[in-house]
Homo-oligomer: A and B are copies of this chain.
Amino acid sequence: MILIMIAAPFDQLPAAAVARFTCDAGDILFRADAPADHLIAIDAGQLVLVRLSPEGNRVMIAQAGPGQTLGEASLFTDRYHYDCVARSPASGWRIAASAIRAALVTDPDFALAMVQTLARQVRTERLRCEIMSIRSAEARVLAALRAFGQPGTLTAFADSLGLSQEACSRAMAGLVRHGRIERLGRGRYRAIGQG
């Protein structure tokens, strides 16, 4: 038998509240305007939230990988506000929003852990907003590398910063020249002195 652990705080929920999923790149986990009845915890792969801007452009809201969750807002709204799409083959858990709401009022430990998870998410999103308000491409890329590292491809990284792939690539090259970051390989970079 294979045991696959589900990440905190959802390991405290009854087994009936969670369902395993696996998917391929391009699969849609949920769509905007669909009933928001579950959130998603990722074990492997990369998922992204995308939304169409009024002009019809696809805009990335967030990208998440192993250990992260998407769709927390579904707990208190009745419809999703964005599409959740797999960027690569991925697996994880769908967690019933109703079970989470129930556990919040009956399980103090779960409530504490849930608040902690959400507080971290707020902090991360605020940080992303501040980074995106940095004008210079090099400074923005450096700040993002220090804060989050480079989770996926260079193109996806550029998207998440509101930069074109070319501007991001050039900024990386400049930062390497100035000794602020190191190049791990083609399209893979890391801030100096970080894991």
Bits for A57-85, please: 1 = Cβ < 8 Å to B, else 0. 10111111000000011011100010000
Majority secondary structure, A binding face: helix
Whether A129 and B61, one on each chain, are in contact in the complex, defined by CB atoms closer than 8 angstroms, is: yes
| 1-19 of chain A: CB within 8 A of chain B | none
Closest approach, in angstroms, between the C-beta of A123 and any C-beta of chain B?
4
A59-B133, A62-B130 as given contacts; A112 in contact with B105, CB under 8 Å: yes
Whether A127 and B61, one on each chain, are in contact in the complex, defined by CB atoms closer than 8 angstroms, is: yes
A134-B59, A139-B55, A143-B54 as given contacts; A129 in contact with B123, CB under 8 Å: no
Q: A53-B130, A125-B129 are in contact. List 4 more A-B contacts (CB 8 A).
A: A53-B139, A73-B119, A114-B115, A125-B128
Bits for A94-127, please: 1 = Cβ < 8 Å to B, else 0. 0000000100111011011011101111110111
Complex Cα gap A64–B122 (Å): 12
Whether A54 and B139, one on each chain, are in contact in the complex, defined by CB atoms closer than 8 angstroms, is: yes
Complex Cα gap A62–B133 (Å): 11
Closest approach, in angstroms, between the C-beta of A136 and any C-beta of chain B?
8
Q: In this assembly, does A49 line the interface, its C-beta being within 8 Å of a C-beta of chain B?
A: yes
Bits for A121-164, please: 1 = Cβ < 8 Å to B, else 0. 11101111110111110010011001000000000000101100
Complex Cα gap A119–B80 (Å): 13
Whether A120 and B76, one on each chain, are in contact in the complex, defined by CB atoms closer than 8 angstroms, is: yes
Q: In this assembly, does A51 line the interface, its C-beta being within 8 Å of a C-beta of chain B?
A: yes
